[in-house]
């Protein structure tokens, strides 16, 4: 995409136009895998461009007396070869492409002249007009590469690229596939509740779905954005209420996938963090259904963060443990070693524990955790209805009852609760 098209109203003689306006760039995709690319300069320009060159499979030679820490890390990892010196004549021998980005104008001009003489396409960060190639603003989304050129206005190029890529990713820019899609199921972690916290890939798969089987704890606001033809199946597992049996969910996933539909199983948080995602993946595997797992932002970390609580903090907590509280400590089904947890000095994060918080707090105190340990209960985290109730291990059951806290809620136990301006232990 370029912005150097001649103005139809311009009646200047062709030769005069050629002298006063830059020639239109010819867009092309370079296949650099295994081919030598020379990068002169190890500063910020190289830091931005090197990852793309490496991803393209280029054989990259970096020539620079110094480099940014990020560029040096790439050299240390062996993804680029770094010669710690300045440019000298002959450095572009055998190169297919060159990126010139040193802070030495004379070296840049000399390297550019060498590139011209060797017919090596050359990008110059200091003088685009003297270059034989321009780097487009590039973005990618699921196999589509978007490259935008707007002459010598890189900020506009980046803005156009971002608009296109964002539209492709979130489905607002329609780009239907013309080759047949492979039917299957995507287990998508929807994040903690805020629809903006679903991953880019998860949102794109939602936009491409024929059927969405959604949990109550998924970002349900996103369902309103689905096209009318998309079938939405309510698989809500509401605490203390009706539930769609897991076997029925598995059957629905298999049935729709075998019918050739693209199916998204939209789950809250991450599919594999108390989400029974592996049970569904196993059922799909047994049925021969392709399955894609899209990780999600777990509420165990994101909800405390949204409420101002770091699950770890220097000098306070060096570890955090995530525990399911859906069964009480004295329940024979419990797999949790509450005595061991009580001895830990770090942070405990409890999911699905609201109605069992009394017995859990009691077990922790009985095994040695201090009654005054700060506790925070965060209900409906990351949503507009979010609220935080502070307490101590000794008072948390009473505070939860007094405040009428209901699921979904995340319980955080530990000294990190008292860190920051939002802390209010009671």
Q: Is residue 13 scored above 90 in pLDDT? A: no
CB atoms near residue 353 (< 10 Å)? 25
- Collapsing DSSP to helix, strand or coil, 262 comes out as strand
Q: Please identify which residue in the block is written with the tokens 């990190």.
A: 416
Q: Please identify which residue in the block is written with the tokens 């055998």.
A: 94
pLDDT computed for residue 216 by the predictor: 77
Residues classed as catalytic: 215, 237
pLDDT computed for residue 257 by the predictor: 95
For the segment 235-254, what is each residue's pLDDT rounded down to a tens digit? 865 454 455 688 889 999 99
Which residues, at least 6 apart from 267, have a Cβ–Cβ distance to it below 8 Å? 187, 188, 189, 190, 215, 217, 218, 275, 277, 296
Which residues, at least 6 apart from 285, have a Cβ–Cβ distance to it below 8 Å? 291
Q: Which of 170-179, 240-249, 257-266, 281-290 has the lowest mean pLDDT?
A: 170-179
CATH of domain 300-418: 3.30.950.10
- Collapsing DSSP to helix, strand or coil, 334 comes out as coil
Band of residue 423 on the pLDDT scale cut at 50, 70, 90: low
d(CA 410, CA 417): 12
For the segment 334-347, what is each residue's pLDDT rounded down to a tens digit? 999 999 999 999 99
185 close to 291: Cβ distance less than 8 angstroms = yes
Q: Is residue 3 scored above 70 in pLDDT? A: no
Q: Where in the chain is the domain with CATH 3.40.1010.10?
A: 184-297
Q: Is residue 171 scored above 90 in pLDDT? A: no
Q: Is residue 174 scored above 80 in pLDDT? A: no
204 close to 170: Cβ distance less than 8 angstroms = yes
DSSP 45-77: HHHHHHHHHHHTT-EEEEE-S---HHHHHHHHH
pLDDT computed for residue 122 by the predictor: 95
pLDDT computed for residue 9 by the predictor: 37
d(CA 229, CA 137): 35
pLDDT computed for residue 25 by the predictor: 80
* CATH of range 184-297; options 2.60.120.380, 3.40.470.10, 3.40.1010.10, 3.40.50.1370: 3.40.1010.10
Q: Which of 138-147, 232-241, 272-281 has the lowest mean pLDDT?
A: 232-241
Verify cis geometry, omega within 30 degrees of 0, for the bond prior to 28: no
Band of residue 424 on the pLDDT scale cut at 50, 70, 90: low
Tell me the average pLDDT of the chain. 87
DSSP 364-405: HHHTT--TT-EEEEEESTTSTT-EEEEEETTTHHHHHHHHT-
For the segment 312-340, what is each residue's pLDDT rounded down to a tens digit? 999 999 999 999 999 999 999 999 999 99
pLDDT computed for residue 386 by the predictor: 95
Among 5-14, 44-53, 82-91, the range of highest mean pLDDT: 82-91
Greater confidence (238 vs 230) lies with 230
**How far from chain centre, in Å, is Cα 416?**
26
Band of residue 15 on the pLDDT scale cut at 50, 70, 90: very low
193 close to 270: Cβ distance less than 8 angstroms = no
The two structure tokens encoding residue 391: 């307490």
Q: Residue 99's beta-bridge partner residues?
A: 39, 123
d(CA 419, CA 415): 7
For the segment 108-133, what is each residue's pLDDT rounded down to a tens digit? 999 999 999 999 999 999 998 889 99
**In b/e form, how buried is each residue of 175-202, taking b as 16+ CB within 10 angstroms?**
eeeeeeeebebbbbbbbbbbbebbbebb
Sign of CA dihedral 9, 10, 13, 14: negative
Q: What is the mean pLDDT of residues 214-238?
A: 79
pLDDT computed for residue 136 by the predictor: 83
Q: Please identify which residue in the block is written with the tokens 């399955």.
A: 291
Topology (CATH level 3) of domain 28-135: Rossmann fold (3.40.50)
Provide the pairing of β-strand 387-392 with 374-379. Answer: antiparallel
d(CA 361, CA 414): 12
DSSP secondary structure letter of residue 322:
E
Greater confidence (78 vs 420) lies with 78
> How much of the chain, in percent, has pLDDT values that exceed 70?
88
Q: Where in the chain is the domain with CATH 3.40.50.720?
A: 28-135
Band of residue 137 on the pLDDT scale cut at 50, 70, 90: confident
Q: Is residue 259 scored above 70 in pLDDT? A: yes
Greater confidence (86 vs 179) lies with 86
321: left (phi over 0), alpha (psi -120 to 50) or beta: beta
d(CA 360, CA 353): 8
């Amino acid at each position: 995409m370029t912005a150097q098209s001649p103005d139809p109203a311009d009646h200047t003689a062709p030769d005069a136009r050629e002298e006063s306006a830059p020639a239109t760039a010819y867009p092309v995709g370079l296949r650099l895998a295994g081919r030598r690319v020379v990068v002169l300069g190890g500063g910020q320009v190289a830091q931005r461009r090197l990852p793309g060159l490496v991803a393209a499979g280029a054989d990259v030679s970096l020539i620079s007396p110094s480099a940014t820490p990020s560029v040096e890390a790439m050299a240390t990892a062996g993804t680029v070869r770094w010669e710690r010196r300045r440019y000298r004549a002959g450095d572009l021998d055998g190169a297919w492409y060159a990126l010139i980005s040193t802070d030495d104008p004379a070296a840049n001009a000399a390297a550019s002249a060498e590139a011209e003489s060797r017919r090596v396409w050359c990008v110059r960060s200091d003088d685009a007009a003297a270059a034989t190639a321009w780097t487009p603003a590039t973005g990618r989304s699921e196999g589509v590469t978007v490259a935008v050129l707007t002459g010598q206005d890189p900020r506009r190029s980046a803005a156009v690229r971002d608009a296109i890529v964002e539209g492709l990713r979130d489905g607002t820019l329609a780009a239907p596939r013309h080759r047949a899609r492979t039917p299957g199921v995507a287990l998508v972690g929807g994040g903690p509740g805020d629809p903006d916290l679903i991953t880019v890939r998860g949102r794109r798969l939602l936009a491409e779905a024929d059927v969405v089987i959604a949990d109550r704890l998924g970002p349900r606001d996103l369902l309103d954005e689905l096209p009318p033809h998309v079938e939405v199946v309510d698989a809500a597992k509401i605490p203390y209420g009706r539930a769609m049996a897991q076997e029925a969910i598995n059957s629905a996933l298999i049935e729709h996938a075998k019918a050739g539909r693209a199916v998204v199983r939209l789950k809250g948080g991450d599919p594999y963090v108390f989400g029974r995602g592996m049970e569904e993946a196993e059922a799909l595997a047994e049925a021969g259904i392709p399955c894609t797992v899209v990780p999600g932002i777990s509420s165990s970390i994101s909800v405390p963060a949204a409420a101002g609580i770091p699950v770890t903090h220097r000098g306070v907590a060096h570890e955090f443990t995530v525990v399911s509280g859906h069964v009480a400590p004295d329940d024979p089904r419990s797999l949790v070693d509450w005595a061991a947890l009580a001895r830990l000095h770090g942070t405990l994060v409890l999911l699905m524990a609201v109605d069992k918080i009394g017995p859990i707090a009691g077990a922790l105190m009985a095994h040695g955790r201090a009654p005054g340990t700060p506790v925070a209960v965060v209900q409906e985290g990351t949503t507009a209805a979010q609220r935080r109730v502070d307490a101590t291990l000794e008072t948390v059951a009473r505070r939860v009852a007094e405040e009428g806290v209901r699921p979904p809620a995340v319980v955080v136990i530990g000294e990190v609760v008292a860190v920051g301006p939002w802390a209010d232990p009671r």
